[in-house]
Structures are given as C-alpha cells and as structure tokens.
C-alpha cells in the first residue's frame, strides 16, 4: 500500500520559537516549549502525520505547533466539524490507529459529535481534541463553554470510551498516551480531550512519551477446545465476521480457519471487506436488505460463530435473525470487549480476545477429514452468486453502475457511502477483496449517519493518494457535507469520484412512509441543486447522466482524467431498493389495510 507523502517540502528545517529549542524524544531531555507544541510532538511520536479539523481561536497554540512541525505533520482544515470528524473516523478505519480531529469549543464540539458517535458504534479508534475556555473563566457559562466530560462521558450508551479535561500542561503527554491506549485497547473507540486555552499556552518541559501499542488478549485454551467440540457436533454451522481491530494477518488467518473447516462466511453490516467476497466460502453480507436465502440459512443454522461482530440491530435484523436474548441457534461469541460479551445475547460460549489473536488461534483448530456441511457451504455460495443477478432497471440501473465500477477501476479501490437506500446496491453488488489484500476497501457507518461518505472519501484520497476512491451518495446524504468538495480541491486530491444518486427524496424515509402510511407523503421530498454545476464551482470535473448507456463512457472519461469528478446520476424516485419499488410497497400496504 502506498504511503502518502507529507506534502510540499518547505526548504530547510524552520527556525524554532523562543519556547521550542527542538523536539524532544522518549530518550532525550525535553525542551521547554508551549504545551500546544508539546501536543503536536506527542502526536508525531505516535506516528500521526495528518490531522483533520476546523481551526478555532481556543487552540491557536496547537495550530502554531502544526506550523512549527509542518514538515512532519499536516493539519487539514475542513469546512465543517462534522465533516472533519468523519474524516478522522475514516482515518481510524484505514490505519487501525486513532484518527485525529481538532475542533473549537461549543458549536465546534457539538458539530463534531456525529463523528464521535459513529466511531463509538463502529468501534473505530478516534481522538477528538476540543479547545476549551480558559481556566479562570470555567463554570461561568463563558462564551461557548460546555463540560465535555458530561457531554461525551462514557456509560452504557455513551458517546466516547473516555472524556477528560487536561488542566496541567506538564501532564498533557500523559493524557495523550492514555487516550491512545484507551482508544485502541479492548473494543476500540473514540476518546475526547478538552484543552483549556491557557493550558495550551503554558510552557512545559514534559517529555514526549513512547508510541502506544495496544495490549493483545488471546482466547483461553479451554475455550478453544470447547469451540472445537461444538464444531464437531454441528451439522449446519455459519460464521459471521465483523467489528474492528482486524489487520491483514488476522483476516488471512480467519480465511484459513474457514477453509480448514469449510465454513460458510458472512460479514456483519458494513464490514464486508473483512473476508474476500470472491472466495468460494463467502455467502454474503449480514445486514440491511439481506439476501432472503442467506437470512433463512442463518436462522436454520445449528451453530453461529460470531467473530468480532457486536451483533447489533442491523446485523441481526432487529434482534430477530438471532433471537434476543437467547438464540435458537447455538452461539459462540468472540469479541475484544468484555463489556460486550453477554450484553445482549446469552451465548453458549463467550471468548474475550483481540481479533489479531483470535483469528490466529482459530486457525490452529484441527478439523476432521469428513465435514458433513460441505454441500451446505457450497449452496450458500450459490445463493450469493444468484443474488448478484439483478432484474434490469431503466432508465438508470445502479446494479450496472456498481458492476462497471468493479470492472473499470483497480481492485484496491476504496468505496465509501453514508446512509440511505442507495447504499443497498453497494452492499449487494460490490465484491470487496479481503483486508489482507489491500487494506480497508469499505468505509461506511454502521451508525447509519448521513453525510459520512463524501468526507470519508476525501480523507481516504488525501491519506492514500495512489488509490482510487469512490463515494456513492444519495442526494440527501450528499447535501449533508457537500462543502467538503472544497477540502478535496484545496489539498490536491486526485483519484476521487463522487457519484450522487438524485431521486429527489429522502428515499429510506419515503419507503417507510409508504409501508406504514401508504400514499401519505410528508417531509421526505427534496428540492435539489444542479449537482454538476455545484461540483464545478468547487473545481471538480462533473457530468450529469440520465440513462444506463451513459455510464460506461462517463466512467471511462473519469478514469482517464484522474482528477476529482462528480457524476450527477438522475434516478427514478419509484426505484426504492435493489429488490422493490415504492409502487409495490404502497400497493402491498394498501392491500394489507383492506384485509
């Protein structure tokens, strides 16, 4: 995987401020410098080379630190804090290390909260740094003052794993190191640190601490033996992979485990790139709009092994595919977070383990020569292949669009999306290679956050500029963060394509309206701009497409151009999902009312 260059060189190493005689290292005496500079040094020591954010007066000392170390780290100034937080969340998914976001107090933090919530539900490591009012103004409801420990504070359904305020400049590196540990260990997630303005301008000689590596947990040998015994007794097992904390070696080990035992494999909601979709054991995605045959196969399984997945509402079909709290199937749940195990499901076997360790342990389980479910696994794959054949749709066929993208772009292309029915075409027709081949290739919010796809695509393009990045967005989804087109232009993104599916409605809401209140449409219509003209105003190439036949020529031109491009795809409102129409949903609901 290509490594992003740090940006234009600025000539010789710049001179130091009166507070910064040189960056300290873990083994050298620390220099006296502003705490804001020390924070930037701490991030560099953790391997961070890019941070996202919106500048604010409450952390000017940190911005000055970025200037001081501009040849080692860059600050990407985004157009809105929600977009910045989404970019940092995507950074966490791509790297496996915490994505970094800086925002100012009050409105900046509240705007960024959507990215923190997404990182929490997606189990993505992320650090949000929030500028805070000066210490002598605290607790007066000063300008834009909030208590971020209460706002983001951890809990059963909190928004962050840890939220704290750093009041001492000398302890700032300690807090940063703890934040990295907390974000990475167990179930990964977001951490929020509030930074009082006067603390950041205080000189400190605090040392830079070493790079944080998460502690890894292996499954207990006795639990592995119990898992093998359950496999030996099974007739129709099924494996579901999901969650975060995976690396290339773990995904490769999981594949070998599945191969050793001929296990059919499904991927949890929006974690489809954890297992190679081209592999003969891959059976499909276990999430929204699941293949009905796959859903039936999971319900009929006598053993479900969930590795890394939280088994949330979307993956379990509203806790019905696996009945909560006690599934009909025997359930083995393997997860890195002790707090997640047994939280919803009374599983038959619980194993706490890091994904990097769990998969390697699973592949050591010896399988017998005779496995009674080989035909079962082959049938699951056949169901998946049959589901790849769609009923042709005109005048615009999104199945053809996804298939063309797969054919015309490299297999390491990163695909991003936010929330909306449009994403169902990606879920169904995009074949993601396993993470072990090219790293993450799917960036999508399991939190269901609208507006995620474009900022995530911009971040991916800036972080890994040698890869193509494609954002598929609905019109309502896109308009949540369309201003980040400017961020892509300003920072020189290249192989970046955003496809806006324009059907003039909040499609998911309209679908539910037709199911519950057929024909009674309210509040779900959209009045859209000329998306191509909007993109050109931001310096992008752009085309408007209305028919399926126009797709391949337009994509060919896009690949040849190699510059940020937006394709405005006009799409019939009635085509609700890859399986049905609004007309059919309405007719079915009206018929049900008459019965």
Tell me, yes or no, if the pTM score tops 0.85. Answer: yes
pLDDT tens profile 445-481:
999 899 999 999 999 999 999 999 999 999 999 999 9
State which CATH number among 1.10.10.10, 3.40.50.970, 3.90.1150.10, 3.10.450.30 fits the domain covering 398-594.
3.40.50.970
Q: Are 112 and 155 in contact (CB under 8 A)?
A: no
Q: Are 376 and 281 in contact (CB under 8 A)?
A: no
pLDDT of residue 4: 38
Q: What percent of the chain has pLDDT over 90?
A: 82
* Per-domain residue ranges of the chain: 33-204, 221-387, 398-594
Instruction: List phi, psi (to 5°) of 419.
Output: -115, 145
pLDDT tens profile 369-415:
999 999 999 999 999 999 999 889 999 999 999 999 999 999 999 99
pLDDT of residue 63: 98
Q: Which of 357, 342, 371 is nearest to 261 (CA)?
A: 371
The answer on pLDDT for 2 being more than 50 is no
Q: Are 350 and 342 in contact (CB under 8 A)?
A: yes
pLDDT tens profile 169-184:
999 999 999 999 999 9
pLDDT band at 156 (very low <50, low <70, confident <90, very high): low
Instruction: List phi, psi (to 5°) of 505.
Output: -155, 155
Distance CA 34, CA 18 (A): 9
Q: Specify whether domain 33-204 bears CATH 3.40.50.970.
A: yes
The answer on pLDDT for 6 being more than 80 is no
pLDDT of residue 155: 60
Instruction: List phi, psi (to 5°) of 253.
Output: -65, -40
Distance between first and last Cα of the chain: 58
The DSSP 8-state label assigned to residue 562 in this structure reads -
The answer on pLDDT for 101 being more than 80 is yes
Six-digit token pair at 374?
A: 């080989």
The answer on pLDDT for 116 being more than 60 is yes
Q: Which of 406, 461, 365 is nearest to 277 (CA)?
A: 406
The answer on pLDDT for 269 being more than 80 is yes
Q: Which residue has the tokens 């998914």?
A: 93
pLDDT band at 236 (very low <50, low <70, confident <90, very high): very high
pLDDT of residue 5: 37
Mean pLDDT of 551-577: 95
Q: What percent of the chain has pLDDT over 70?
A: 94
Distance CA 276, CA 309 (A): 17
pLDDT band at 417 (very low <50, low <70, confident <90, very high): very high
pLDDT of residue 234: 97
pLDDT tens profile 537-551:
999 999 999 999 999
In this structure, which topology does domain 221-387 adopt according to CATH? Rossmann fold (3.40.50)
Q: One fold for both 221-387 and 398-594? A: yes
Pairing verdict, β 203-204 and 33-34: antiparallel
292 C-beta neighbours (distance < 10 Å), count: 11
Q: How far is CA 420 from CA 444, 447, 477, 566, in A?
A: 11, 12, 7, 19
- Residue 103, SS3 per DSSP: strand
Q: How far is CA 594 from CA 510, 514, 582, 587, in A?
A: 21, 15, 19, 11
């Amino acid at each position: 995987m290509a490594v992003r260059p740090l940006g234009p060189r600025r000539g010789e190493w710049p001179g130091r401020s009166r507070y910064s005689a040189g960056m300290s290292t873990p083994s050298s005496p620390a220099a006296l410098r502003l705490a804001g500079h020390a924070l930037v040094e701490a991030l560099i020591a953790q391997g961070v080379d890019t941070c996202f954010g919106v500048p604010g007066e409450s952390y000017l000392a940190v911005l000055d630190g970025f200037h001081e170390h501009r040849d080692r780290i860059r600050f990407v100034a985004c157009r809105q804090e929600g977009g910045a937080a989404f970019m940092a969340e995507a950074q966490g998914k791509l790297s496996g290390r915490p994505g970094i976001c800086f925002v100012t107090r009050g409105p900046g933090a509240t705007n960024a909260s959507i990215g923190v919530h997404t990182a929490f539900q997606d189990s993505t490591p992320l650090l949000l740094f929030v500028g805070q009012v000066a210490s002598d103004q605290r607790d007066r409801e000063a300008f834009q003052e909030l208590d971020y420990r209460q706002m983001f504070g951890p809990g059963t359904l909190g928004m962050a794993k840890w939220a704290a305020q750093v009041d001492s400049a000398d302890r700032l590196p300690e807090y940063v190191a703890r934040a990295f540990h907390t974000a990475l260990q167990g179930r990964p997630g977001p951490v929020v640190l509030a930074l009082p303005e006067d603390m950041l301008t205080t000189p400190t000689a605090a040392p830079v601490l070493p790079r944080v590596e998460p502690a890894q947990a292996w499954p207990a040998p006795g639990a592995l033996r119990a898992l093998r015994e359950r496999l030996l007794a099974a007739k129709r097992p099924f494996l579901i992979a999901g969650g975060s904390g995976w690396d290339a070696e773990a995904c490769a080990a999981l594949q070998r485990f599945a191969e050793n035992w001929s296990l059919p494999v499904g991927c949890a909601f929006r974690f489809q790139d954890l297992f190679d979709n081209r592999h003969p054991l891959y059976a499909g995605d276990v999430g929204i709009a699941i293949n009905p045959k796959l859903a039936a196969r999971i319900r009929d399984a006598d053993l479900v092994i969930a590795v890394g997945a939280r088994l949330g509402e979307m993956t379990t079909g509203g806790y019905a595919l696996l009945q909560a709290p006690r599934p009909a199937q025997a359930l083995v749940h393997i997860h890195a977070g002790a707090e997640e195990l047994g939280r919803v499901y009374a599983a038959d076997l619980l194993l706490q383990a890091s994904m990097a360790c769990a998969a390697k342990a699973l592949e050591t389980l010896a399988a017998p020569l005779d496995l009674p479910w080989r035909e079962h696994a082959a049938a699951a794959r056949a169901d998946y292949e049959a589901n790849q054949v769609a009923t042709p749709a005109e005048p615009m066929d999104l199945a053809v669009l996804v298939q063309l993208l797969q054919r015309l772009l490299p297999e390491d292309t990163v695909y991003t999306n936010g929330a909306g029915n449009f994403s169902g075409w990606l879920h169904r027709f995009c074949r993601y290679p396993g993470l072990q081949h090219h790293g993450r290739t799917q960036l999508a919010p399991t939190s269901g956050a609208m507006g995620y796809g474009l900022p995530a695509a911009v971040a991916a393009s800036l972080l890994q500029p040698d890869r193509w990045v494609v954002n598929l967005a609905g019109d309502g989804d896109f308009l949540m963060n369309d201003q980040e087109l400017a961020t892509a232009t300003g920072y020189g993104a290249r192989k970046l394509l955003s496809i806006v599916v324009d059907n003039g409605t909040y499609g998911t809401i309209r679908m539910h309206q037709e199911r519950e209140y057929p024909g009674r449409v309210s509040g779900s219509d959209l009045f859209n701009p000329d998306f191509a003209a909007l993109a050109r105003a931001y310096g992008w190439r752009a085309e408007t497409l209305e028919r399926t036949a126009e797709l391949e020529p337009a994509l060919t031109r896009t690949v040849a151009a190699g510059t940020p491009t937006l394709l405005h795809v006009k799409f019939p409102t009635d085509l609700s999902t890859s399986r049905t129409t609004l007309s059919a949903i309405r007719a079915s609901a009206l018929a049900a009312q008459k019965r």
